[in-house]
Amino acid sequence: MSSSTTVKILSLVISASVIVQTTTAGDPDIPSDFIAPDGIPIDGKYFTYIGMRAFVQQSAPPSYFTYMRASKEEFAALDGLSVATIILGFRPRDVSPPHIHPRASELLFVVEGSLVVGFVDTNNKLFTQKLQTGDMFVFPKGLIHFQLNEDPKNHAISVSSLGSASPGLILVPNNLFNTSATIDDRVLALSFKTNVSTIQLLKKALSTPYN
């Protein structure tokens, strides 16, 4: 990955984190500057996360759909600070399927390429937009949304900050058709006005990763 792309990603992560933390913070206020484990010396390393290095140090665009997250589960220092970050790498014609972050709004930057994005509100109205490199889009908390790289030749990269250290993720297709406790085929068939055999085909298709 080029040095200019790396610089863009890092600068956008910082600016997006500041914007989301000050405008859409969703975690409860904490009575201290930060939350730290008991009995463990705290220095700068505690507030440092290096998990994104693997993405920015790639020498070529992603060869598969890439999803890298820094929430409090991966980066304990974020606990109570109302912010998390996601980097998405899209191959040509890749999709981030319809999903929900139940505890956070999401502010997305397109770092490279272009993306078609959108969300559906509680009145069942679709809001969609094609974004170019440098554009931003906000997904309100708890609403179904998606991102699509419809370009047949070029990859795309986006960086998102979310207004919670634990935004949560409900991946709609997987949660409906590929859960550990599978919803009864008859319930899904009636709900989607189709037949059981179609539901079973969907479950089979979703048993393999999107990558």
Q: Is 145 annotated as a binding residue?
A: yes
Q: Please provide the DSSP assignment of 52-79 as one string.
A: THHHHT-SS--SS-EEEEESTTT-GGGT
Check if the beta carbon of residue 165 is closer than 8 Å to that of residue 71: yes
The reply, when asked if residue 101 is annotated as ligand binding, is: yes
Residues near 71 by beta carbon (within 8 Å), at least 6 away in sequence: 78, 84, 162, 165, 166, 167
Q: Residue 58 and residue 79: Cα distance in Å, rounded? A: 29
Burial zone of 31 (CB within 10 Å; 0-12 exposed, 13-18 middle, 19+ buried): exposed
Is residue 155 part of an annotated ligand binding site? no
Tokens of 51: 């998990």
Evaluated on CA atoms 205, 143, 188, 171, the torsion sign reads positive
The binding site for Mn(2+) comprises: 99, 101, 106, 145
The binding site comprises: 99, 101, 106, 145
The binding site for oxalate comprises: 101, 106
